[in-house]
Amino acid sequence: MAKRIPVSQFNKRVEFGTIQSVYNRASGTNVPSFASQMALWAKQQRRSLNNQYKLMGTELQDSIVVIIRHNDAVNRSLLAKMNGTLYDIADISPDDSDYMSYDYLTLSEHKKV
């Protein structure tokens, strides 16, 4: 059984959604925009210095880890938006073994194509 995390530590609001084309009436063109599908409370997990050193030089060097209550609807095809910054979901470590279970999400900053 996972260690229970106090509800008060889930103090970050994370929106999950996709990029969709939205018509811009001012310019008459379609522009890509984030379309939120759900919003969940999350806890940002700190990394130890040892873990930070291990990630240096990898594509996950500038990533962050957030913890959410287990949710089957969250998958790697979604984007996450937190504090106005858009992130790709690089990895999900799900746990559905108990009624009080958590998912650890590794988020890396979204790069425009």
Nearest CA to 14 out of 81, 66, 70 is that of 81
3-state SS class at 27: coil
Can you give the residue ranges of every domain in the chain? 9-109
Task: Kindly report the pTM of this predicted structure.
Answer: 0.84
**Lookup: tokens for 98:** 């108990």
pLDDT tens per residue, range 100-109: 899 999 999 9
pLDDT at residue 113 tops 80: no
Topology given in CATH for the domain delimited by 9-109: Thrombin, subunit H (2.40.10)
